[in-house]
Structure 1
Amino acid sequence: MSGPRVTRSTFPDPRPPEARERRSLVRWRISLKMALRQSLRSWPSSVLVILLVFLPIAGVSAAMVYATSLQPSPQQRVDSELGQADAWVQGQGTTPGYRQYLDQPMQSYVADPDVGDEWIEPPADITTVIDADEFVRIDGATASVETESGFGLFYAVIGSTWDPLLEGRYTLLDGRAPTSPDEMLATPESLKRIGAELGDVVVMKDPAATYTVVGTMSSRLDDNGDGMIFVPEVGGFEVEPFRTTWYVGGWHPSADDVYALNALGVTVFDRELVQNPGDGAAPGFDSSSGTSWAFYSATAASLVFCAYLVMLLAGAAFSVSAKRQQRALAVAASVGASRADVFRIVLFQGTILGLAGGILGSAAGIGLAGLGRAWFGDGSLAYSWGLRVPWWAIVGLAVFATVMGTLSALLPARAATRGDTLAALRGARRPVSVSAARPKVGLALLIAGAAIVVVSAAGLVVTYQADLPDGELTRSIYMIGMIGMIVGPLLLQVGVIIAGHWLLAQAARLLGRFGLGARLAARDAVANPGRSVPSFGAIAACAFLATASIGGVATLMNMDAAGATQVAPYGSVVASVGGSPVAESGIEDPLVVEAELRELAASAAKALRDAGSEATAVTSAPVWDRYSEGDDGNPVLNPDAEIAAPEPILPQQCAENPDEPCLLSFYSRSGGGENRFVVVAPNDLETAIGAPISAEQEAAFDAGAAVVEDPQWLTSDGDVVVNWWRNGDLDGDQTGSMFNVTDVADQPAPASTKTLDGILVESPTLFSDDRQVYIAPSTARALGFATVPTYVIGEGSAITTAKLDALSAWAESEALSMSSDTTDFSLSTWRSDPPAAPAPWLWLILGGVTVLVIAASAVSLGLSRVERRPDDATLTAVGAAPGVRRAVGSWQALVIAGYGCIVGTVAGLLPVLGVVYILDGTGQEGLALADVPWLWYGLLALALPLAVALVSWLVPPRAPDLTRRTAIA
């Protein structure tokens, strides 16, 4: 009979019962000393365990030190915020009941929600409510400054930033402080952008003024780029509201003083209270600390996952090491060591090696964080605080590593106490039996895990469709369902590991038919479950993580691609043109500045061609006169004015369900407030849509046909329906029902309708809904549309990133130069990028998991080859060819890696398929079943184990040592 024997009880233990061990620290000290000596003697396996612990601890500690170093220490924070001042105060205004947190003044809470919601205006002059020795007022505003390339927007810091009270908050770098209102300072980068030197005159357009540069300055809490200047007085600047900051010296408020000022709409940052907030401290994690939650959650999850892998692989290493120490442990037992002593000797090895790996990994992590700052540091504010080490967290990591090493040795230590001392002295090994109870437990967990996923997914869909009135119950069901989607696959994986020995035994029966190498490999895996089961469990964990990650990335990127619409073809460079007269009523009428807009569009087209565009297209949009200025100066709706919009026909979801009632909402029919016509010249159509246009299509387009990019705009006859809608129907009583009309009779009828011939042109670009219907200028005039330019589109293959940056600077300057007190223009440029392709991310995930699987397989197979050396010597002694030993290694790699990858992939597929079912059942965008990346899962579950087996076959086994097997020959 092939394969191991399945038994329901272990072999009888011939050892006599021991007397109860007397507790003594001496025994513990001797056990610790022997554990240290055994670790040094078995240095190859010790180095392996230290390395397994070292790697995750180094990575996590590096991430923690790096993240900590991006934030200031408490002392650095107050010094950079205040300089030499004792506090700063801002009159931001608020509502009754507002209270700030003492250590986080920009975060607040409502102390009494029942006191009303009327707005509290802060005092205009803080000096009237605070009794302090010194005050320095700092304001902020935006200024349009002449630069070497035209005009640019700069942030102006207004006030005496060079006052000694602010030393440390602002630092004078060169030159001197201003002594008159027409002198200024600038950051060195801003001075370079302006093209000026100390003593030069700088011209401002808004506000209209000239300043003499007398020095350079830096701001400690800003990145100081090329957009900051410092001026002494407000002058003509339009100061940003509620941004005035008063720096105060000689004033030390209590918490009650701060809360009293909060009631006046004033916020306080005090040096002492920020560092010692007491009960007024902000909670460690709240709804506003999403970034911290994300970082610490990701760090904790990574640490738990790494600990799981390390304990499995290190446990396998300890299992092999304990077997190799069998004779030494038996000698210790023969001279009086108790089972507890033997247990402690093996367990302490895990403690020692875990502590060593934790200390070395923490030290390496600190060094890696320092190197990372040197490599990635860009001189920005985040890299200016120096290397900061969270020592308590580092100590915690070292303790965690020690616990991890100890737990890794727990099962091997327990197994080491079960042997027979005399048999161990003879070098005999106890036969391995397969428990009949474990498969049942594992099967139960397998079924439970799969059932939890199915029930969770079904429950989420049913709850969504049922639309329960109890919101709290709905949220609870959603939370339980999402937890179940995570817990279920984990239970399945645990079940597989528990039943792992039995599964390997069944594989041994099957593989016995594939030749001697397969038979020996399978039986070796079954005979050493302490090594083989943790190994394929670690590989399964890696495959599970990869499967879930691949599914998550594919789902998210599919959703992003479905919603990532563009206004221009992928790869093109777009210049957005806008402008209107400045009106107190708030009514913007671009037709008043139509000539200037066309001039600005022509300048943008020329700039794009000069930058390398082979073709450009100017697209326009209709302008509707919907509002007029009333007697009180406010906008008044003209209910009889009309706008036009193309009507979408049945959406795809309606066409797929012809038996169900499907009605377009009035919002969709009337354009939803968006302008859905794009007006472009016939010879520019191909550039605007990014698809080839035939001569016949261009002629038809010029003659009055509409080109559409999506078939949703075409009737069954291939026409495009154009509806005219009254303003009163759009913004009157129908507003509340635009989304919820359930009867055709409730929908307003269009004022008039006309049809245009439709031409469907398929473009690789996913355009937004308001950029899918194109008409020629002559067609727009025939329909009565007034149009203004909106976008300039240029072919972008020759426009590099540097040229695009130059275009952006030119666009800002051009818009500022054309703007005036009566008109306001905008011009911005960007590249129309396609949605990110998932393939690079999927390759990255697959590559990462390949590294992990190969590493886990290398550890497993390396341990296997070490433990199999006596068996290899036996095979060689009885005349086995070298190919047999090579085949054994290859088949063993295939069994361990194959089991792990298949089990992990199946477990990871459960939540992925559950998400697909949930998205489909709730009508959300996402992966369809056919869109699941099956090819990637095939590579992960099948191709990767074959690759590992091939590599194992290519690496020849070590020459056997025949000295201990000579008698067998």
Structure 2
Amino acid sequence: MGGPGGLPARRHGGGRVRRQLRRVAADRRGSPMSRRGTWRLALRVARRDALRAKGRSALVVAMIALPILGAAGADLALRSGELSVAEKLEHTIGQADASYELTGSDPVIQDFEGFWTISEDVFARTPEDAEPPEPPWQTPEELLALVEPLVPEGSTLVYERTDWLRASTAHGVSDVEITETEAGHALAEGQRRLLDGRYPETDGEIAASSAFLSEGGLAIGDEVTVNTWGERLDEGTTLTVVGSFEDPGQLGQHELVALPGAALEPGPYMQGRVLVDVPGEGGVVDWPMVQEANERGFVVVSRELVLDPPSRSLLSAEAQQIAARSGNVDGAAVAVAVVAVSLIVLEVCLLAGPAFAVSARRSRRQLGLVGANGGERRHLRAIMLASGLVLGAVAAVVGLVGGVLLVLATKPWLEERLGSRFGAWDFRWLELGGIAVLAVLIGLLAAVVPAYNAARASVLSSLTGRRGVRRGGRVLPLVGGCALLFGTALALLGGLLLGETVPVAVGAVVAELGLVALTPLLVGAFGRLARWLPLVPRLALRDAARNRGRTAPAVAAVLAAVAGTVAVATVTVSDEAEQRAAYEPELPEGNAAVVSFLPDASSDLDVARGAVERETRVGERFDLALAVPGPLDCRTESPYGEEEMFCGQTVPQPAAGLDCPAWGEAGEGMDVEERRAALQGPLCSGVSWMGGSAASVMVAEPEALAALGIEEPGASEALADGEALVAHEDLLDADGRLTLGLLTEYPEDWSDSAMPRDTPAAEVDLPAHVLSDGKLAPAVLLSPRTAADAGLAELDLGSVYALANAPSGAERQAVDAELQKLGGDIWFYAEEGFDRDNSLALLILALAATVITIGAAGIATGLAQADAAADLATLSAVGATHRLRRTLSGLQCGLIAAMGVLLGAVAGLVPALGLRLVEHRVELDRWQPLWDAGEISSPRPELFVELPWATFAQLLVVVPLVAWLLATLLTRSRVPLARRVG
């Protein structure tokens, strides 16, 4: 059976489709039956067209399904990873009805969930010079006795106490959290998950977290020695590992579990709590019981109050404020999330739009037949929109199923990355349904423009394959230009003047939408450059400019992807630049030091040096010493009753005294500028080199200055000539020289800047050389000859090394273990410089943008090949080589990628600059009041904006080249000749 004009009829039921189309056209326009018949026909045609062009349909489905897959998987992972209130309670208090934690202050104020604060009455009635109170408990039995009167008789109580200590490993020592409790008790079930072995049953046993055993190179059956920082390693408590467990909420936690009283010693600041199980079925700890415990200084987490909280009217005003703060929603985060979702929808629509345009081009003859058989424009629009509806529905199913399967398959990996175990699988069907509707909506939105264009085409041009050339409109570029200017101004001014994230996010979206609207105009402007290009690039660029309907969406999609990448990369590298500028090294990068400012440890420094030189790869060594009154006479002497070694002390005697001039009564008469200048001196900072005292007077050879980070011209010569290097002029006397006071008795009077004010037994006067930047230098530095001439003795302080290589984690643990054996008063520090490397994250962002760029450029290239099939056949017929099509396709893909990347790089700077201005505004608002009051001396915060040049190079150079090469290699060079119809 023939069609109109003798054309062959389509197979697969084409006659039935035409009959149904005639019936639809014969119905009364606008009737419900007509609309139902129109969409029934449209859906049937769309389904058949999707099955007929499986490759193109699969491409569109993949584009829409990919973000849907990610959204569905993220929703399931986040909801399952976000524990319910009951699951959080199980991790916190196990199976208990409540936990009672003693704060050390009474009364306390809390809300129903256990967030608390101290009553202002406590501060009002506590004198400023009051001594800290004695701890109300020392042993587990004493803490349990404090809780017993607060709970019903017959309640089951389980003791818990946690503290941080050091524990031995196979490599050395490591910090670890130690919990004393009955981990195998029924009330503790759910707090931890036993992986292997058992929980401790005697005082000599301990269970360890799997993370600690793995990183420490230990296993069940090994012994672990735990002790405090001040103890020698052999003085600690040795326990045997009998089990391995994990904390479901903190998989990477280094934790050891022992029985009560087996590992921790009583101390002044003990943190302990008691798990309580109230007797009787359904026993609860109600609000009156909690209030009674608050009066005794206990904070209570009650299962009943958390799961079924009563009315907030029962809370005091202060408690209601606590509850309100704990439930606040981050408005900025919500705004950023909404903006991110909006940009994702926009990007997918822009990506899928050209693919639907391909479908419309390929279906022109079919649409022409529909028009020739009585179909109206609304029927043609319905057919194209139905195509978006069908493919969007398929993408929704594929995305939802794929996202769920992906999360199910990667659950262990996700848990390791998140650092916590999932709870029960939480399928939020309403949210998943909303994601599915979003997929269908994206499909419909992506098909809107192709449907509008298909409905406008004449029947004759659709049947013959001819199409006219239509000039672009002027309204869209005008609106886009206004939106670009308005959005940019809103983002930048909102960040600079308001310091708020919401106007920056809104402005960035508006600016990007404006640039998307300007894309057709910009593509046409790029096309004007074709006249200066060789033949094949000229053909490619002119074809892209002439067919903006398929080029502009692809360029806009690349723009959106690249803009997001550039924005994140710019904020990341700018933040890194700011942190790098604020970083203050203790030593020059690549150097290390082993030091102790305590005279007690000076005799062990040679052993410590041996450990460092044996376990790490060190280079040149420079020894350091403290200058003390000679001859060296160390003795145990302290007015505080402690066995502390004292070898005498040498203290600068500045003209202004040893107190900070900006504090106390002296600071009240200062103006703002004088106060700021005073705060810059060491008398107000209170610290000097490597965290030592501001009064430290050190001895070192001139050759050691570079290892200490002192490279000021003339400093080495001054030190060799007998002058003292002084970190700040405030340490000089009235004559501009350095006066050192010699203390031979233990100081009893100390200044606020931690410098002894005792009258010295003698004084030494020395010429001084003030360092221009001595912020991190020792307060005073003498040469050994100058110290000897002044009658000063040298007390060993340690050594500075030039490292051959940065020490590894195992080497650090080994050194720490050796130093712990010496008592922990000697410490090792290796300066590795500012340590933050975002190269991997930036590379992942660039790769994601590359994939989207190549995909969008490939779609536009495929559409260009479909549209230019007749032109390519004509070129082949007149003698063009077989490589022309391959070369032309490659250049078309590369040019689209290059245009999108260039525009995206510009668009991405708008939100990046806005966010940096927000952070700068916040810093200024914090700094300005303190600066105006003269309370700080730090300079005005700088605005750091660093451009991600490596990311720019990848996007602007590598991505277009990769797109060009892939399109060149994947395009067939031979062009089949075809007869033009009409």
Do both share a fold (TM > 0.5)?
A: yes
The unaligned stretches of length 5 or more in structure 1 are 1-15, 461-476, 579-589, 632-639, 648-660, 736-750, 761-765, 820-824
Which residue among 444, 465, 471 is the counterpart of 1:427?
465
Which residue among 23, 27, 30 is the counterpart of 2:32?
23
Equivalence for 2:557: 538
Equivalence for 1:231: 259
Distance 1:289 1:780, change over 3 A: farther
* Paired AA for residue 524 in structure 2: A
1:442, 1:496 within 8 Å by CA — same for their partners in 2? yes
Equivalence for 1:904: 904
* Paired AA for residue 849 in structure 1: A
1:246 aligns with 2:246: no
Q: Secondary structure at the match of 2:395?
A: helix
Distance 1:609 1:42, change over 3 A: same
Distance in 1, Cα, partners of 2:321 & 2:976: 65
Which residue among 571, 575, 581 is the counterpart of 1:562?
581
1:813 aligns with 2:820: yes
Distance in 2, Cα, partners of 1:397 & 1:262: 46
Judge which range, 548-557 or 165-174, deviates more: 165-174
Equivalence for 2:515: 496
1:181-196 alignment, distance < 5 Å:
184-187=205-208
Distance 1:449 1:384, change over 3 A: closer
1:135 aligns with 2:156: yes
Distance 1:216 1:455, change over 3 A: closer
Distance 1:36 1:175, change over 3 A: closer
Which residue among 686, 689, 693 is the counterpart of 1:673?
686
Structure 1 residue 270 displacement after superposition: 3.5
1:252-401 alignment, distance < 5 Å:
252-255=284-287, 257-258=289-290, 261-262=293-294, 264-277=296-309, 302-375=340-413, 382-383=420-421, 392-401=430-439
Structure 1 residue 483 displacement after superposition: 4.8
Distance 1:116 1:808, change over 3 A: same
Distance in 1, Cα, partners of 2:790 & 2:335: 58
Equivalence for 1:55: 66
> What is the aligned length?
856
Distance 1:453 1:131, change over 3 A: closer
* Paired AA for residue 513 in structure 2: V
* Paired AA for residue 353 in structure 2: G
**Matched residues, percent identical?**
22
Distance 1:641 1:688, change over 3 A: closer
Structure 1 residue 674 displacement after superposition: 2.4
Equivalence for 1:776: 783
Distance 1:574 1:498, change over 3 A: same
Structure 1 residue 810 displacement after superposition: 0.6
1:644, 1:725 within 8 Å by CA — same for their partners in 2? no
Distance 1:183 1:620, change over 3 A: same
Deviation sequence 1:584-620 (CA, Å, 0-9, x none)? xxxxxx4xxx1x3223432221111101323344545
1:705-744 alignment, distance < 5 Å:
705=723
Distance in 2, Cα, partners of 1:395 & 1:494: 28
Structure 1 residue 312 displacement after superposition: 0.3
Structure 1 residue 622 displacement after superposition: 7.3
Deviation sequence 1:840-874 (CA, Å, 0-9, x none)? 76556545433432332223223322333233223
Equivalence for 2:602: 598
Deviation sequence 1:83-141 (CA, Å, 0-9, x none)? 44333332336676823243xx3x3589x999997799999622212215332231325
Distance in 2, Cα, partners of 1:243 & 1:334: 85
Equivalence for 2:978: 963
* Paired AA for residue 906 in structure 2: V
Which residue among 748, 756, 765 is the counterpart of 2:768?
756
* Paired AA for residue 975 in structure 2: P
1:516, 1:884 within 8 Å by CA — same for their partners in 2? no
Distance in 1, Cα, partners of 2:359 & 2:48: 13
Judge which range, 599-608 or 386-395, deviates more: 386-395
Distance in 2, Cα, partners of 1:212 & 1:835: 36
Distance 1:954 1:29, change over 3 A: closer
Distance in 1, Cα, partners of 2:627 & 2:947: 42
1:500, 1:533 within 8 Å by CA — same for their partners in 2? yes
Distance in 2, Cα, partners of 1:262 & 1:94: 9
Structure 1 residue 187 displacement after superposition: 3.4
Distance 1:48 1:426, change over 3 A: same
* Paired AA for residue 252 in structure 1: V
Q: Secondary structure at the match of 1:666?
A: helix
1:347, 1:413 within 8 Å by CA — same for their partners in 2? yes
Which residue among 166, 170, 177 is the counterpart of 2:188?
166
Deviation sequence 1:702-731 (CA, Å, 0-9, x none)? 4435679x9x999xxxx9986889999996
Q: Secondary structure at the match of 1:244?
A: strand
Structure 1 residue 337 displacement after superposition: 4.4
Which residue among 478, 501, 509 is the counterpart of 2:499?
478
1:65, 1:366 within 8 Å by CA — same for their partners in 2? yes
Q: Secondary structure at the match of 1:960?
A: coil
Distance in 1, Cα, partners of 2:219 & 2:911: 61
Q: Secondary structure at the match of 1:21?
A: coil
Equivalence for 1:650: none
Equivalence for 1:413: 451
2:46, 2:384 within 8 Å by CA — same for their partners in 1? yes
Structure 1 residue 311 displacement after superposition: 0.8
Structure 1 residue 803 displacement after superposition: 3.6
* Paired AA for residue 23 in structure 1: P
Structure 1 residue 665 displacement after superposition: 0.3
Distance in 2, Cα, partners of 1:697 & 1:377: 55
Equivalence for 1:872: 872
2:173, 2:814 within 8 Å by CA — same for their partners in 1? no
* Paired AA for residue 188 in structure 2: L
Structure 1 residue 210 displacement after superposition: 7.3
Distance in 2, Cα, partners of 1:670 & 1:214: 49
The unaligned stretches of length 5 or more in structure 2 are 1-24, 127-132, 137-142, 630-636, 642-649, 658-672, 690-695, 756-762, 925-938
Q: Secondary structure at the match of 1:187?
A: strand
Judge which range, 685-694 or 239-248, deviates more: 685-694
1:824-835 alignment, distance < 5 Å:
825=825, 827=827, 829-830=829-830, 832-835=832-835
Q: Secondary structure at the match of 1:608?
A: helix
Structure 1 residue 832 displacement after superposition: 2.7
Distance 1:903 1:721, change over 3 A: farther
* Paired AA for residue 756 in structure 1: A
Equivalence for 2:10: none
Distance 1:507 1:566, change over 3 A: closer
Deviation sequence 1:653-683 (CA, Å, 0-9, x none)? xxxxxxxx99970122445322257835328
RMSD after superposition? 5.5
Distance 1:54 1:434, change over 3 A: same
* Paired AA for residue 237 in structure 1: E
* Paired AA for residue 574 in structure 2: T
Deviation sequence 1:546-573 (CA, Å, 0-9, x none)? 3333432332122111111211232344
